[in-house]
Chain A
Amino acid sequence: MTNPLLEIDQLSVSLQKRKQTLKAVDNLSLKIYSGEILGLVGESGAGKSMTGSAILGLIDPPLFISSGKIIFEGERIDQNTKNIRGSKISMIFQDPLVSLNPLRRIGDQLVETIITHFDVSKTQAFERAKSLLEEVGIDPSRINAYPHTFSGGMRQRVVIALALAPEPALIIADEPTTALDVSVQAQILDLLKKLAKERGTAIILITHDMGVIAETTDRVAVLYSGRLAEIGKTVDVLKDPKHPYTKGLVASTPRIDANSLLEKLFQIPGAMPDLDNIPEGCPFHPRCDFADAQCRKEQPPLFQNRSACWLSKD
Chain B
Amino acid sequence: MSYVIANQLTRHYDLSDPWIIRQINRRPKNILTAVNHVSFSIEKGEAYALVGESGSGKSTIAKMVSGLLKPSAGSIHIDGHDLNGPILDGKATHNMRQRIQMVFQSPYASLNPRWKIGNIILEPIKSFRLIADEKQQHKRVAELLDQVGLSERDVSKYPHEFSGGQRQRISIARALASQPEIIICDEPTSALDVSVQAQVLNLLKDLQKEFSLTYLFISHDLAVISTMANKIGVLKDGKLVEEADSAELFANPKHEYTKMLLSAAPNIGVYVHSERKS
Contact = CB atoms under 8 A, between A and B. Distances in A.
Do any beta carbons of A and B sit within 8 angstroms of each other in the complex? yes
Contact of B266 (A152, A181, A189, A252): A189
B261 A183 contact: yes
Contacts, number: 144
Nearest to B164: A44
B69 interface: no
B266 A186 contact: yes
Given A183-B260, A186-B266, A256 B195 contact: no
A239 B276 CA distance: 16
Interface in B225-263: 226-230, 246-247, 250-251, 260-263
A250 B272 contact: yes
Instruction: Determine which residue in B194, B199, B251 has the highest number of CB atoms from chain A within 10 A of its CB, and name it.
Output: B194
A11 B195 CA distance: 26
Contacts of A152: 54
Nearest to B203: A267
B267 A186 contact: no
B107 to A, nearest CB: 12
Given A261-B227, A267-B202, A268-B198, A255 B272 contact: yes
Interface string A181-220: 1110111010000000000000000001111111110000
Contact of B163 (A208, A255, A271): A271
Nearest to B51: A182
A263 interface: yes
Contacts of A187: 264
B222 interface: yes
Instruction: Determine which residue in B202, B221, B270, B272 has the highest number of CB atoms from chain A within 10 A of its CB, and name it.
Output: B272
Chain B interface mostly helix, strand, loop or mixed? Answer: helix
A257 B269 contact: yes
A261 B222 CA distance: 12
B202 A182 contact: no
A257 B194 contact: no
Contact of B193 (A44, A239, A254, A264): A44
A140 interface: no
B198 A214 contact: no
B165 interface: yes
B267 A256 contact: yes
Given A256-B267, A271-B163, A182 B220 contact: yes
Interface residues of B, number: 46
A36 B2 CA distance: 53
Given A185-B266, A263-B277, A258 B250 contact: yes
A239 B271 contact: yes
Interface string A163-190: 0000000000000000001110111010
B53 interface: yes
Nearest to A267: B198
Nearest to B273: A257
Contacts of A209: 194, 266
A213 B193 CA distance: 15
B207 interface: no
Contact of B267 (A208, A211, A264, A267): A211
B271 A235 contact: yes
B268 interface: yes
B54 A181 contact: yes
A152 B53 CA distance: 12
B150 interface: no
A145 interface: no
Nearest to A241: B272
Contact of A211 (B193, B223, B251): B223
A150 interface: no
Given A252-B194, A267-B198, A257 B226 contact: yes
Given A183-B264, A214-B268, A248 B274 contact: no
Contacts of A257: 226, 250, 269, 273-274
A118 interface: no
A265 B264 CA distance: 22
B155 interface: no
A238 interface: yes
Nearest to A274: B163
A212 B53 CA distance: 17
B227 A43 contact: no
Interface string B69-92: 000000000000000000000000
Interface of B: 53-54, 163-165, 193-199, 201-202, 205, 220-224, 226-230, 246-247, 250-251, 260-274, 276-277
Given A209-B266, A238-B271, A255-B274, 14 more contacts: A182-B264, A185-B264, A186-B265, A215-B267, A250-B272, A253-B194, A254-B201, A254-B224, A255-B223, A255-B269, A258-B226, A258-B250, A264-B205, A272-B193
Interface of A: 43-44, 152, 181-183, 185-187, 189, 208-216, 234-235, 238-239, 248-250, 252-261, 263-268, 271-272
20 contacts: A181-B54, A183-B53, A183-B261, A186-B265, A209-B194, A211-B266, A214-B267, A215-B266, A238-B271, A238-B272, A252-B197, A252-B198, A254-B197, A255-B267, A256-B267, A257-B273, A258-B247, A261-B246, A265-B201, A266-B198
5 pairs of A and B residues whose beta carbons are closest in the complex: A211-B266, A252-B198, A186-B264, A43-B193, A181-B53
